[in-house]
Amino acid sequence: MGGIQLLTADLTHSPTPLDAAWTSRSYSKEAGRRKSGRGADEMRSIWKKAAAAVLAGGLLMSISMQPGQRAEAASSVMVPGYEVKLLLSPSATLGGDGKPSAALASAFGLGSAQSIGVEYFDTSSLDLNAKGWDVRFRKKADKSNFEISYKKRYPIVNGNINAALEQARQEGFTSADDNYEAEIDWNYSKQTLSISTEKKKSASGYSGTALPAESKALGMAVDEIPGKLDNWSATGWGKKTLSASRAHGPVAVSKYAGVFNGLETDVEIWPIRSSSGTGTETIVEVSFKTDDAAEAAAERDKLIAFLQGKGWLTPQDSLKTQLILERC
């Protein structure tokens, strides 16, 4: 179920900069691990800078390479992190007020909620999504800016992460793209490679989770569109398609920070329009991130066992984005 292939260096050939980056990831587990305490993002940033330095150092090595070898080194695959996402049963984990039950809050040491306003932009026929792209616009209540993310998704078949990374490389996402982040989204039964970049715009004049009028938010998203999306199917395709899009949402998300087995763990509650369009379907998701593939696999197994023991696990994949796009 949801098997994973760990990326490893081939020790039968001379090490490349990418091999060195993977070795750095494999043997710096504590640096990459999302431990309790919000210094984890800083640790992740330190690791990424170190990996970038290793790759940059490889440029010096490449002076002695043949032209073809230099081109291959410069276009190596991205180094992904991992996010494990599992669904919880709303009836078993939420109280009558729609907030985490006392048992759930105690189990993960949940604090107070962070409120987030979220919407997605796509055409009514979901042309961006059909090409594997999602454009998300959101505002966190405790932040002074809007966050616009552009994400490209690649399905991972039979746990073959290498194949997905190679496909992404062939389509232009390489280790040289320091403005994009690669992540393996690991759900209950499937994995997806997500490659995303985020832009920020001032939210001056907006309070809480208030979002701009649809046309204004769309204008911001179009203005900030990255070149890879803009020229995906043809020159200017992305901007033309996004300009013809509408808002799907908004959704008022509640996010709670907690801890599981020493890992920073989040519980999110997403009230999404029901399939009938007359009510709400509540999605409850628990997730954690790590830069280490082996740790992701081991801690995922532990989390699944823990949730099953509590009777909280919903054995399905999390499809929040798709539900919002299709229903809202």
Q: DSSP for 260-303, please give it.
A: ETTEEEEEEEEEEE-TTSSSEEEEEEEEEEES-HHHHHHHHHHH
Q: What's residue 139's pLDDT? A: 98
pLDDT value of residue 75 = 74
What per-residue confidence (pLDDT) applies to 265?
98
The label of the residue with tokens 């949402």 reads 249
Q: What is the pLDDT of residue 23?
A: 39
Predicted pLDDT of residue 59: 35
Report which of 97, 95, 110, 52 is spatially closest to residue 76, judged by C-alpha positions: 52
Q: How many residues would you count in the chain?
A: 328
Helices (H) and strands (E) in the chain, counts: 13, 10
Task: Kindly give the confidence (pLDDT) of every residue in the chain, 328 residues in length, as a single tens digit, with 9 standing for 90 and above.
Answer: 444 444 433 323 333 334 444 434 443 444 444 555 545 555 555 555 454 444 444 433 333 445 555 455 457 999 999 999 999 999 999 999 999 999 999 999 999 999 999 999 999 999 999 999 999 999 999 999 999 999 999 999 999 999 999 999 999 999 999 999 999 999 999 999 999 999 999 999 999 999 999 999 999 999 999 999 999 999 999 999 999 999 999 999 999 999 999 999 999 999 999 999 999 999 999 999 999 999 999 999 999 999 999 999 999 999 999 999 999 9
Q: What is residue 108's predicted lDDT score, i.e. its pLDDT?
A: 98
- The three-state secondary structure class of 217 is helix
Q: Quick check: 314 and 308 in contact, CB under 8 A?
A: no
Q: Can you say whether the dihedral through the CA atoms of 100, 102, 106, 112 is positive or negative? A: positive
Give the helix/strand (H/E) hosting 85.
strand 81-88
Q: How far is CA 254 from CA 146, 209, 267, 302, in A?
A: 17, 11, 8, 25
Q: What global pTM score does this model have?
A: 0.83
Spacing of C-alpha 71 from chain mean position: 29
